[in-house]
Amino acid sequence: MKRIFEKIIEFLLTVSGATTSIVILLIVIFLFKEGIGFFQHSEVESGYSLCVNKTNPIVRLTPEQIKEIFDGEVSNWSVFGGNDEKIIPFRLNDISDYYTDEELGENYEFLPEKLSELIKKTSGIIAFAPDQYLPEHTLEFKILSDNKLNPSDFFGGKNWIPTATPAPQFGLLPLLLGTLWVGICAILIALPLGLGVAIYLGELASMKIRNLLKPTVELLAGIPSVVYGFFGLVVLVPIIRNIFNLSVGETAFAGSVVLAIMALPTIITVAEDAIRNVPQSMREASLGLGANHWQTIYRVIVPYSISGISAAVVLGIGRAIGETMAVLMVTGNAAVIPTTLFEPVRTIPATIAAELGEAPHAGVHYGALFVLGCVLFIITVIISITAEIISKKQPKGFL
Protein backbone atom coordinates (compact mmCIF):
# COMPACT_ATOMS: atom_id res chain seq x y z
CA MET A 1 0.00 0.00 0.00
CA LYS A 2 2.83 2.36 0.89
CA ARG A 3 4.51 1.60 -2.45
CA ILE A 4 1.31 2.41 -4.34
CA PHE A 5 0.95 5.69 -2.45
CA GLU A 6 4.55 6.64 -3.32
CA LYS A 7 3.90 5.85 -7.00
CA ILE A 8 0.81 8.07 -6.98
CA ILE A 9 2.73 10.94 -5.38
CA GLU A 10 5.56 10.46 -7.88
CA PHE A 11 3.08 10.50 -10.78
CA LEU A 12 1.37 13.66 -9.49
CA LEU A 13 4.70 15.44 -9.08
CA THR A 14 5.73 14.41 -12.59
CA VAL A 15 2.46 15.64 -14.08
CA SER A 16 2.71 18.89 -12.13
CA GLY A 17 6.28 19.51 -13.33
CA ALA A 18 5.43 18.63 -16.93
CA THR A 19 2.32 20.84 -16.89
CA THR A 20 4.26 23.77 -15.47
CA SER A 21 7.00 23.40 -18.08
CA ILE A 22 4.47 23.22 -20.92
CA VAL A 23 2.60 26.29 -19.65
CA ILE A 24 5.83 28.28 -19.38
CA LEU A 25 6.86 27.17 -22.89
CA LEU A 26 3.47 28.20 -24.30
CA ILE A 27 3.70 31.59 -22.61
CA VAL A 28 7.15 32.16 -24.15
CA ILE A 29 5.91 31.07 -27.59
CA PHE A 30 2.90 33.38 -27.31
CA LEU A 31 5.13 36.28 -26.22
CA PHE A 32 7.51 35.94 -29.15
CA LYS A 33 4.72 35.22 -31.63
CA GLU A 34 2.99 38.48 -30.75
CA GLY A 35 6.30 40.31 -30.73
CA ILE A 36 7.37 39.10 -34.17
CA GLY A 37 3.97 40.12 -35.53
CA PHE A 38 4.84 43.73 -34.74
CA PHE A 39 7.27 43.84 -37.66
CA GLN A 40 4.48 42.89 -40.08
CA HIS A 41 2.77 46.24 -39.56
CA SER A 42 3.36 49.19 -41.86
CA GLU A 43 5.30 52.29 -40.85
CA VAL A 44 2.40 54.65 -41.57
CA GLU A 45 -0.73 54.56 -39.43
CA SER A 46 -3.06 51.76 -40.48
CA GLY A 47 -5.73 52.80 -42.99
CA TYR A 48 -3.83 55.87 -44.21
CA SER A 49 -1.32 56.69 -46.94
CA LEU A 50 1.15 59.46 -47.68
CA CYS A 51 0.71 61.04 -51.09
CA VAL A 52 2.92 63.49 -53.00
CA ASN A 53 2.83 65.19 -56.38
CA LYS A 54 3.99 62.93 -59.20
CA THR A 55 6.86 65.32 -59.99
CA ASN A 56 8.34 64.73 -56.52
CA PRO A 57 11.32 62.32 -56.82
CA ILE A 58 10.92 61.08 -53.23
CA VAL A 59 9.64 57.48 -53.10
CA ARG A 60 9.95 56.69 -49.38
CA LEU A 61 10.37 58.46 -46.06
CA THR A 62 11.42 56.95 -42.74
CA PRO A 63 9.21 57.41 -39.67
CA GLU A 64 11.73 59.93 -38.29
CA GLN A 65 11.63 61.96 -41.51
CA ILE A 66 7.82 61.91 -41.52
CA LYS A 67 7.80 63.18 -37.96
CA GLU A 68 10.22 65.98 -38.83
CA ILE A 69 8.01 67.09 -41.71
CA PHE A 70 4.70 67.16 -39.85
CA ASP A 71 6.31 68.71 -36.77
CA GLY A 72 7.63 71.53 -38.94
CA GLU A 73 11.29 70.72 -38.20
CA VAL A 74 12.10 70.32 -41.93
CA SER A 75 10.51 72.62 -44.49
CA ASN A 76 12.32 71.88 -47.78
CA TRP A 77 12.33 68.70 -49.86
CA SER A 78 16.01 69.13 -50.70
CA VAL A 79 16.90 67.96 -47.17
CA PHE A 80 15.67 64.50 -48.14
CA GLY A 81 17.14 64.53 -51.65
CA GLY A 82 14.10 65.98 -53.39
CA ASN A 83 13.49 69.16 -55.32
CA ASP A 84 14.43 72.54 -53.87
CA GLU A 85 10.91 73.55 -52.89
CA LYS A 86 8.88 74.10 -49.77
CA ILE A 87 7.21 71.14 -48.08
CA ILE A 88 3.47 71.58 -47.61
CA PRO A 89 2.15 69.10 -45.02
CA PHE A 90 -1.55 68.31 -45.45
CA ARG A 91 -4.03 66.51 -43.24
CA LEU A 92 -7.61 65.79 -44.19
CA ASN A 93 -9.05 68.42 -41.83
CA ASP A 94 -7.07 71.04 -43.80
CA ILE A 95 -9.25 70.49 -46.87
CA SER A 96 -11.55 73.34 -45.82
CA ASP A 97 -8.63 75.74 -46.34
CA TYR A 98 -8.64 74.91 -50.03
CA TYR A 99 -12.28 74.16 -50.90
CA THR A 100 -15.67 75.39 -49.74
CA ASP A 101 -18.38 73.16 -48.35
CA GLU A 102 -20.33 73.57 -51.60
CA GLU A 103 -17.33 72.31 -53.63
CA LEU A 104 -16.90 69.31 -51.35
CA GLY A 105 -20.58 68.43 -51.43
CA GLU A 106 -23.23 68.24 -48.78
CA ASN A 107 -22.11 64.73 -47.76
CA TYR A 108 -18.51 65.21 -48.91
CA GLU A 109 -19.21 63.12 -51.99
CA PHE A 110 -16.72 65.19 -54.01
CA LEU A 111 -13.94 64.88 -51.41
CA PRO A 112 -11.95 62.14 -53.24
CA GLU A 113 -12.04 64.14 -56.48
CA LYS A 114 -10.97 67.39 -54.79
CA LEU A 115 -8.25 65.62 -52.82
CA SER A 116 -6.76 64.18 -55.99
CA GLU A 117 -7.01 67.56 -57.66
CA LEU A 118 -5.23 69.30 -54.77
CA ILE A 119 -2.32 66.84 -54.71
CA LYS A 120 -2.00 67.03 -58.50
CA LYS A 121 -1.73 70.83 -58.63
CA THR A 122 0.44 71.35 -55.49
CA SER A 123 4.00 70.26 -56.25
CA GLY A 124 5.40 70.45 -52.70
CA ILE A 125 2.51 68.81 -50.91
CA ILE A 126 2.65 65.68 -48.77
CA ALA A 127 -0.86 64.55 -47.92
CA PHE A 128 -1.76 62.25 -45.05
CA ALA A 129 -5.08 60.89 -46.22
CA PRO A 130 -7.40 57.94 -45.45
CA ASP A 131 -7.21 55.12 -47.97
CA GLN A 132 -11.01 55.21 -48.40
CA TYR A 133 -10.72 58.60 -50.14
CA LEU A 134 -7.93 57.53 -52.48
CA PRO A 135 -8.48 55.71 -55.77
CA GLU A 136 -6.88 52.27 -56.09
CA HIS A 137 -5.06 53.29 -59.27
CA THR A 138 -4.18 56.85 -60.18
CA LEU A 139 -1.76 58.69 -62.43
CA GLU A 140 -2.51 62.09 -60.91
CA PHE A 141 -0.29 61.70 -57.83
CA LYS A 142 2.13 59.28 -56.19
CA ILE A 143 1.66 57.24 -53.02
CA LEU A 144 4.90 56.86 -51.10
CA SER A 145 6.16 53.34 -50.51
CA ASP A 146 4.81 52.00 -47.24
CA ASN A 147 7.34 49.49 -45.95
CA LYS A 148 7.00 47.21 -42.97
CA LEU A 149 8.43 48.32 -39.66
CA ASN A 150 12.19 47.81 -39.65
CA PRO A 151 13.87 45.98 -36.73
CA SER A 152 16.85 48.33 -37.01
CA ASP A 153 14.53 51.34 -36.61
CA PHE A 154 13.00 49.76 -33.51
CA PHE A 155 16.18 48.63 -31.77
CA GLY A 156 18.12 51.74 -32.76
CA GLY A 157 15.31 54.28 -32.55
CA LYS A 158 15.65 57.24 -30.20
CA ASN A 159 11.97 58.20 -29.89
CA TRP A 160 9.10 56.35 -28.23
CA ILE A 161 5.93 58.14 -29.34
CA PRO A 162 3.35 55.42 -30.08
CA THR A 163 0.51 57.92 -30.61
CA ALA A 164 2.37 60.04 -33.19
CA THR A 165 0.77 60.54 -36.58
CA PRO A 166 1.20 59.91 -39.45
CA ALA A 167 3.95 57.46 -38.39
CA PRO A 168 4.15 56.19 -34.80
CA GLN A 169 7.64 56.27 -33.28
CA PHE A 170 8.82 53.03 -31.66
CA GLY A 171 12.42 53.45 -30.55
CA LEU A 172 13.81 51.07 -27.94
CA LEU A 173 16.90 53.06 -26.92
CA PRO A 174 15.33 55.50 -24.41
CA LEU A 175 13.50 52.68 -22.63
CA LEU A 176 16.47 50.30 -22.64
CA LEU A 177 18.90 52.97 -21.42
CA GLY A 178 16.44 54.10 -18.75
CA THR A 179 16.13 50.50 -17.54
CA LEU A 180 19.90 49.98 -17.46
CA TRP A 181 20.63 53.34 -15.80
CA VAL A 182 18.15 52.72 -13.01
CA GLY A 183 19.11 49.06 -12.56
CA ILE A 184 22.89 49.52 -12.58
CA CYS A 185 22.79 52.55 -10.26
CA ALA A 186 20.51 50.61 -7.89
CA ILE A 187 23.04 47.79 -7.68
CA LEU A 188 25.91 50.22 -7.09
CA ILE A 189 23.96 51.54 -4.11
CA ALA A 190 22.69 48.19 -2.83
CA LEU A 191 25.88 46.12 -3.25
CA PRO A 192 28.09 47.72 -0.55
CA LEU A 193 25.16 48.06 1.86
CA GLY A 194 23.94 44.53 1.28
CA LEU A 195 27.39 42.99 1.49
CA GLY A 196 28.12 44.91 4.69
CA VAL A 197 24.91 43.72 6.35
CA ALA A 198 25.53 40.14 5.14
CA ILE A 199 29.04 40.12 6.65
CA TYR A 200 27.70 41.57 9.89
CA LEU A 201 24.93 38.98 10.18
CA GLY A 202 27.16 36.10 9.16
CA GLU A 203 30.31 36.90 11.12
CA LEU A 204 29.91 39.68 13.65
CA ALA A 205 26.38 39.72 15.04
CA SER A 206 25.49 37.74 18.12
CA MET A 207 22.94 34.95 17.76
CA LYS A 208 20.31 37.06 19.50
CA ILE A 209 20.77 40.02 17.15
CA ARG A 210 20.95 37.75 14.11
CA ASN A 211 17.72 35.99 15.05
CA LEU A 212 16.10 39.43 15.27
CA LEU A 213 17.54 41.05 12.15
CA LYS A 214 17.43 38.09 9.73
CA PRO A 215 13.62 37.66 9.80
CA THR A 216 13.22 41.45 9.59
CA VAL A 217 15.36 41.61 6.45
CA GLU A 218 13.49 38.70 4.88
CA LEU A 219 10.19 40.39 5.74
CA LEU A 220 11.20 43.38 3.62
CA ALA A 221 11.12 41.14 0.54
CA GLY A 222 7.41 40.52 1.09
CA ILE A 223 6.36 44.17 1.10
CA PRO A 224 4.39 45.01 -2.11
CA SER A 225 6.30 47.12 -4.59
CA VAL A 226 3.53 49.73 -4.65
CA VAL A 227 4.25 50.41 -0.96
CA TYR A 228 7.89 51.09 -1.81
CA GLY A 229 6.62 53.32 -4.61
CA PHE A 230 4.49 55.36 -2.21
CA PHE A 231 7.42 55.66 0.18
CA GLY A 232 9.65 56.87 -2.64
CA LEU A 233 7.06 59.31 -3.96
CA VAL A 234 6.18 60.84 -0.58
CA VAL A 235 9.56 60.74 1.19
CA LEU A 236 12.50 60.26 -1.21
CA VAL A 237 11.34 62.40 -4.14
CA PRO A 238 10.97 65.65 -2.11
CA ILE A 239 14.32 65.00 -0.39
CA ILE A 240 16.12 64.48 -3.70
CA ARG A 241 14.44 67.55 -5.20
CA ASN A 242 15.52 69.76 -2.31
CA ILE A 243 19.05 68.41 -1.87
CA PHE A 244 20.00 68.65 -5.54
CA ASN A 245 17.88 71.75 -6.26
CA LEU A 246 15.92 70.08 -9.06
CA SER A 247 12.71 71.22 -10.70
CA VAL A 248 11.26 67.73 -10.24
CA GLY A 249 12.37 64.93 -7.93
CA GLU A 250 10.98 62.08 -10.05
CA THR A 251 14.29 61.06 -11.60
CA ALA A 252 16.38 58.02 -12.44
CA PHE A 253 18.23 58.50 -9.16
CA ALA A 254 14.99 58.31 -7.16
CA GLY A 255 14.13 55.08 -8.94
CA SER A 256 17.61 53.71 -8.25
CA VAL A 257 17.34 54.42 -4.52
CA VAL A 258 13.93 52.75 -4.29
CA LEU A 259 15.13 49.73 -6.26
CA ALA A 260 18.27 49.52 -4.13
CA ILE A 261 16.07 49.28 -1.03
CA MET A 262 13.97 46.58 -2.75
CA ALA A 263 17.04 44.60 -3.86
CA LEU A 264 18.68 44.66 -0.41
CA PRO A 265 16.73 41.70 1.06
CA THR A 266 17.73 39.46 -1.87
CA ILE A 267 21.38 40.48 -1.76
CA ILE A 268 21.61 40.24 2.04
CA THR A 269 19.88 36.86 2.30
CA VAL A 270 21.80 35.11 -0.50
CA ALA A 271 25.18 36.64 0.40
CA GLU A 272 24.73 35.88 4.12
CA ASP A 273 23.88 32.25 3.35
CA ALA A 274 27.02 32.00 1.19
CA ILE A 275 29.17 33.48 3.97
CA ARG A 276 27.76 31.13 6.62
CA ASN A 277 28.38 28.15 4.34
CA VAL A 278 32.14 28.73 4.45
CA PRO A 279 33.57 25.67 6.28
CA GLN A 280 34.49 26.32 9.87
CA SER A 281 37.85 24.69 9.20
CA MET A 282 38.74 27.61 6.88
CA ARG A 283 38.15 30.09 9.69
CA GLU A 284 40.09 28.02 12.19
CA ALA A 285 43.01 27.56 9.79
CA SER A 286 43.21 31.32 9.18
CA LEU A 287 43.06 32.15 12.86
CA GLY A 288 45.59 29.44 13.60
CA LEU A 289 48.05 31.05 11.20
CA GLY A 290 47.88 34.29 13.18
CA ALA A 291 45.25 36.27 11.24
CA ASN A 292 42.77 38.30 13.25
CA HIS A 293 39.02 38.21 12.75
CA TRP A 294 38.88 41.04 10.20
CA GLN A 295 41.78 39.60 8.18
CA THR A 296 39.99 36.26 8.14
CA ILE A 297 36.82 37.92 6.85
CA TYR A 298 38.27 39.85 3.90
CA ARG A 299 41.11 37.47 3.00
CA VAL A 300 39.45 34.08 3.51
CA ILE A 301 35.69 34.18 4.02
CA VAL A 302 34.75 36.75 1.36
CA PRO A 303 37.03 35.23 -1.36
CA TYR A 304 35.78 31.74 -0.54
CA SER A 305 32.11 32.78 -0.79
CA ILE A 306 32.59 35.12 -3.78
CA SER A 307 30.52 32.92 -6.10
CA GLY A 308 27.53 33.11 -3.74
CA ILE A 309 28.01 36.84 -3.27
CA SER A 310 28.20 37.32 -7.06
CA ALA A 311 25.01 35.30 -7.49
CA ALA A 312 23.34 37.55 -4.91
CA VAL A 313 24.39 40.62 -6.89
CA VAL A 314 23.08 39.17 -10.16
CA LEU A 315 19.77 38.19 -8.55
CA GLY A 316 19.54 41.69 -7.12
CA ILE A 317 20.03 43.08 -10.63
CA GLY A 318 17.24 40.82 -11.84
CA ARG A 319 14.93 42.24 -9.18
CA ALA A 320 15.86 45.79 -10.16
CA ILE A 321 15.54 45.23 -13.91
CA GLY A 322 12.10 43.66 -13.73
CA GLU A 323 10.43 45.98 -11.22
CA THR A 324 7.37 47.89 -12.46
CA MET A 325 5.14 49.83 -10.11
CA ALA A 326 7.71 51.42 -7.81
CA VAL A 327 9.77 52.62 -10.79
CA LEU A 328 6.69 53.89 -12.59
CA MET A 329 5.79 56.05 -9.59
CA VAL A 330 9.15 57.74 -8.88
CA THR A 331 11.09 58.03 -12.17
CA GLY A 332 8.97 60.63 -13.94
CA ASN A 333 7.88 58.24 -16.72
CA ALA A 334 9.55 60.25 -19.52
CA ALA A 335 10.59 58.24 -22.58
CA VAL A 336 13.74 60.21 -23.38
CA ILE A 337 17.38 59.17 -23.61
CA PRO A 338 18.90 60.07 -20.21
CA THR A 339 22.12 62.05 -19.94
CA THR A 340 22.29 62.23 -16.13
CA LEU A 341 20.78 60.38 -13.19
CA PHE A 342 18.82 63.48 -12.24
CA GLU A 343 16.47 63.42 -15.22
CA PRO A 344 13.10 61.68 -15.59
CA VAL A 345 13.31 58.33 -17.37
CA ARG A 346 11.06 55.45 -18.28
CA THR A 347 11.92 51.76 -17.99
CA ILE A 348 10.72 48.85 -20.11
CA PRO A 349 8.51 47.24 -17.40
CA ALA A 350 6.96 50.62 -16.55
CA THR A 351 6.16 51.25 -20.22
CA ILE A 352 4.42 47.91 -20.60
CA ALA A 353 2.40 48.45 -17.41
CA ALA A 354 1.40 52.01 -18.32
CA GLU A 355 0.47 51.50 -21.97
CA LEU A 356 -0.80 47.95 -22.45
CA GLY A 357 -4.28 48.77 -21.19
CA GLU A 358 -4.62 51.60 -23.73
CA ALA A 359 -3.12 49.83 -26.75
CA PRO A 360 -5.72 48.52 -29.26
CA HIS A 361 -5.68 44.74 -29.37
CA ALA A 362 -3.59 43.34 -32.25
CA GLY A 363 -2.59 46.86 -33.29
CA VAL A 364 0.91 48.14 -33.93
CA HIS A 365 1.22 49.67 -30.44
CA TYR A 366 0.06 46.40 -28.90
CA GLY A 367 2.71 44.50 -30.87
CA ALA A 368 5.44 46.97 -29.89
CA LEU A 369 4.74 46.34 -26.21
CA PHE A 370 5.09 42.62 -26.78
CA VAL A 371 8.48 43.22 -28.39
CA LEU A 372 9.45 45.12 -25.24
CA GLY A 373 8.32 42.06 -23.28
CA CYS A 374 10.57 39.87 -25.45
CA VAL A 375 13.53 42.18 -24.79
CA LEU A 376 12.85 42.12 -21.05
CA PHE A 377 12.51 38.34 -21.14
CA ILE A 378 15.88 37.97 -22.88
CA ILE A 379 17.55 40.29 -20.35
CA THR A 380 16.04 38.30 -17.49
CA VAL A 381 17.14 34.97 -18.99
CA ILE A 382 20.70 36.27 -19.42
CA ILE A 383 20.72 37.41 -15.79
CA SER A 384 19.36 34.06 -14.57
CA ILE A 385 21.87 32.05 -16.60
CA THR A 386 24.69 34.27 -15.34
CA ALA A 387 23.58 33.74 -11.74
CA GLU A 388 23.42 29.98 -12.29
CA ILE A 389 26.91 29.85 -13.80
CA ILE A 390 28.41 32.02 -11.07
CA SER A 391 26.75 30.08 -8.25
CA LYS A 392 28.21 26.80 -9.54
CA LYS A 393 31.78 28.08 -9.70
CA GLN A 394 34.12 26.70 -7.10
CA PRO A 395 36.21 29.24 -5.17
CA LYS A 396 39.71 29.40 -6.57
CA GLY A 397 42.70 28.78 -4.40
CA PHE A 398 40.83 26.73 -1.77
CA LEU A 399 40.74 23.32 -3.44
Residue 77 confidence (pLDDT) above 90? yes
- Distance of alpha carbon 376 from alpha carbon 320, whole angstroms: 12
Question: In sequence order, what are the residues at sequence separation of 6 or more whose Cβ sits closer than 8 angstroms to the Cβ of residue 89?
Answer: 69, 70, 72, 126, 128
pLDDT bucket at 351, cuts 50 / 70 / 90 = very high
Which of 14-28, 124-138, 192-206 has the lowest average pLDDT? Answer: 124-138
Entry pTM = 0.84
**Percent helix, strand, coil in the chain (nearest 5)?**
65, 5, 30
CB 291 within 8 A of CB 299: yes
Burial environment of residue 332 by CB neighbours within 10 A (0 to 12, 13 to 18, 19 or more): buried
Residue 174 confidence (pLDDT) above 90? yes
pLDDT of residue 136: 66
pLDDT of residue 314: 80
pLDDT of residue 291: 85
pLDDT of residue 375: 93
Average confidence (pLDDT) over 21-34:
90
- In order, the DSSP letters of 149-180 are PPHHHHHH---EETT-SSS-EE-SHHHHHHHH
- Distance of alpha carbon 397 from alpha carbon 386, whole angstroms: 22
Residue 394 confidence (pLDDT) above 60? no
Residue 396 confidence (pLDDT) above 60? no
Domain range annotation of the chain: 2-40, 48-147, 173-392
- Distance of alpha carbon 170 from alpha carbon 62, whole angstroms: 12
pLDDT bucket at 399, cuts 50 / 70 / 90 = very low
Average confidence (pLDDT) over 331-344:
89
pLDDT of residue 137: 64
pLDDT of residue 393: 64
Q: Using a pLDDT cut of 70, give the percent of the chain over it.
A: 96
Topology of 48-147 in CATH? D-Maltodextrin-Binding Protein; domain 2 (3.40.190)
Average confidence (pLDDT) over 283-309:
85
CATH superfamily of 173-392: MetI-like (1.10.3720.10)
Which of 89-93, 95-99, 131-135, 370-374 has the lowest average pLDDT? Answer: 131-135
